[in-house]
Amino acid sequence: MSSLWTQHLPVLPVLLPAFTAMALLLIGDHGGDSHGGHGHRRLLWARRLAMASVLLGALLSATLVLQAAGGEITVYRVGDWPAPYGIALVVDRLGALMLLLTSLVAVPVLWYASGGWDAHGRHFHALFQFQLMGLNGAFVTGDLFNLFVFFEVLLIASYVLMLHGQGRTRLRVGLHYVVLNLAASALFLIGVALLYAKTGTLNFADLALRVPLVTGPDALLVQAAGLILLVVFGFKAALAPLSMWLPATYAASTAPVAALFAIMTKVGVYAILRVHGVIFGTGAGESALVAEPLLLPLALTTSVLGVLGALAARTLERLVAWLTVASVGTVLVAIGLYTPAAWSAALYYMVNSTLVVAGLFLLAELVAAQRGDAADRLQPASPVAQPALLGLMMLLAAASAAGLPPLPGFIGKLMLLEAATPHAWQAAVWTTVLGVGFLTLVGLARAGSILFWHVSDEAPGAASGASGQLLSATLMLLAASVAVSAFAAPLQRYTQAAAEQLLDRAAYARAVLGEQAASQGTTRPYRFETPSRQEARP
């Protein structure tokens, strides 16, 4: 029974939200009648089912992390077809970490949304589950085409979630968001087609073995495919100059949707690490490090543009959206160094920044709800009803985002600076990381002083954001960030092991392709021959 559970565990993070979404659609929508009658009861049942699902998903993710911590790579072959001929779901240390991070964001965000935001539009909970299905699928898929499929699943759900609550601004920004993502998806298919034409496979493990064998003119096409994919993943991750869409989109979304979107940019980061760090990394023959000349300078530019945008922001939500761009830039700086120590720093910092940014989006809505007509605009207004509590939450989030000790933002940036020491770009990395951290502190301190100190003589605003449910959800995200610092040592060991495991392409190939296929991978020619299921079964 235990082995059967272990065997099917990798597919459960995908199937659970998929079946939950279908069940929620069967329950039906409240149809605008969320405050009485059958609509209210349906909404209550939808909330219970959705919350039970994300809690179970968090348990599954934690189990996979514990399983992967020992170095085991768990593979689920859909239909019992062996890779690379069939679809394989693979969970290694990196994939398990991303699943857990998704759950750590999803649980408090859904709890927050269930405080009332989910009643502002139709089918919120079903769309939320489809979004989780796409996110989890992207983190466990073992081939490039299914990465595209799960990208589309999460994007389709995000299109509707972004418009949830309606409004002219959301519709205008949402149209741009949809059009740009459709263009990126078309490029994704072109890159996938070029890569398949020259390697005959899209399986990650098989690509890592075959790309080094491609030489001459064919290698140029493979490199072109890699750069096209860098454009696609860079757009998803908000890498400059492809990041201009993000601030307006995130700022226009409702608070819980924007908080959930904090993990969505990390899918692009994950794809860059998985494809350009491993498949096109060192040892990829003529196509090795094809993205290296571009990735590091663009990542540094992303960090700088992000923090400058935050300084120029006139609302708290837009400030947080720009800080999302800056944090992505910092993570990609670490990935662009192409060393295990730097990748470990990237993963550690990414965990913290995702939690902090998600918490700040929720906090921005809490503050806006208590400032009357001024909302979250950075201008003097009536004082908030809970200045001490909200102010302390703002201080904690700002200190972590800026990288002040002993919070995890400081630890992650310290790891990055140490990893950059022997690199040729050390001066640029140090200057950018330290400068961006200082300007982040300046921007958040300015915002905090306006929101909590530069107030008018009017009576405090209504405590409409004082709901215990909304406050507890925000506190959960900030507390999770503090836990990243409290458990820094074991998390650092895990991220270091995850980075080293990524570079062990032979072990990954053995787990996914089997011993015999992996041993033949460096010598076998490219063929389209497909064995029967019985013959191919290991």
287 with 226: CB under 8 angstroms?
yes
What is d(CA 154, CA 267) in angstroms, rounded to the nearest whole number?
A: 10
User: pLDDT tens digit string along 315-326?
Assistant: 999 999 999 999
The answer to which of 32-46, 53-67, 247-261 has the lowest mean pLDDT is 32-46
Mean per-residue pLDDT of the chain: 87
What is d(CA 174, CA 176) in angstroms, rounded to the nearest whole number?
A: 5
Q: What is the DSSP letter of 82?
A: P
Closest CA to 485 of 407, 423, 397: 407
Across 268-285, average pLDDT: 92
Q: What is the DSSP letter of 526?
A: P
Structure-token match 């449910």, residue found: 469
Of residues 460 and 165, the one with the higher pLDDT is 165
419 with 426: CB under 8 angstroms?
no
Q: How confident is the model at residue 518, as a pLDDT?
A: 58
Across 380-403, average pLDDT: 87
User: pLDDT tens digit string along 442-497?
Assistant: 999 999 888 888 766 565 555 555 678 899 999 999 999 999 999 999 999 999 99
- Domains in the chain: boundaries: 2-30+42-515
295 with 334: CB under 8 angstroms?
no
DSSP helix/strand/coil, 383 = coil
Question: How close are the terminal C-alpha atoms of the chain, in Å?
Answer: 21
What is d(CA 478, CA 396) in angstroms, rounded to the nearest whole number?
A: 8
Write the CB contacts of 44 (distance below 8 Å, at least 6 apart in sequence): none
Across 113-131, average pLDDT: 86
pLDDT beyond 70 at 296: yes
Helices (H) and strands (E) in the chain, counts: 22, 2
What is d(CA 289, CA 523) in angstroms, rounded to the nearest whole number?
A: 22
Closest CA to 378 of 457, 448, 459: 448
Q: What is the DSSP letter of 117?
A: G
Across 73-80, average pLDDT: 88
User: pLDDT tens digit string along 392-405?
Assistant: 999 999 999 988 88
Write the CB contacts of 491 (distance below 8 Å, at least 6 apart in sequence): 348, 351, 484
Q: How confident is the model at residue 524, as a pLDDT?
A: 47
Tell me phi and psi for residue 89, to 5 degrees: -105, 130
Across 367-373, average pLDDT: 83
The number of C-alpha atoms within 13 Å of 210 and in the hemisphere containing its C-beta is 22
452 with 391: CB under 8 angstroms?
yes
Across 345-366, average pLDDT: 94
Of residues 358 and 372, the one with the higher pLDDT is 358
Q: How confident is the model at residue 37, as a pLDDT?
A: 56
6 with 74: CB under 8 angstroms?
yes
Which helix H or strand E contains 88, and what residues bound it?
Answer: strand 88-91
pLDDT beyond 50 at 538: no
Question: What does 195-228 look like in DSSP terms, one character per residue?
Answer: HHHHHS--BHHHHHHHGGG--THHHHHHHHHHHH
Q: Which residue type does 48 have?
A: R
User: pLDDT tens digit string along 511-537?
Assistant: 998 876 656 554 444 443 444 444 444
Q: How confident is the model at residue 123, as a pLDDT?
A: 85
Which of 160-174, 379-393, 402-416 tops mean pLDDT?
A: 402-416
Of residues 196 and 375, the one with the higher pLDDT is 196
- Report how far apart, in Å, the C-alpha atoms of 210 and of each of 101, 123, 224, 283, 304 are: 32, 44, 16, 11, 37
pLDDT over 70 for what percent of the chain? 90
pLDDT beyond 70 at 240: yes
Structure-token match 């309606």, residue found: 166
pTM recorded for the entire structure: 0.92
Q: How confident is the model at residue 466, as a pLDDT?
A: 66
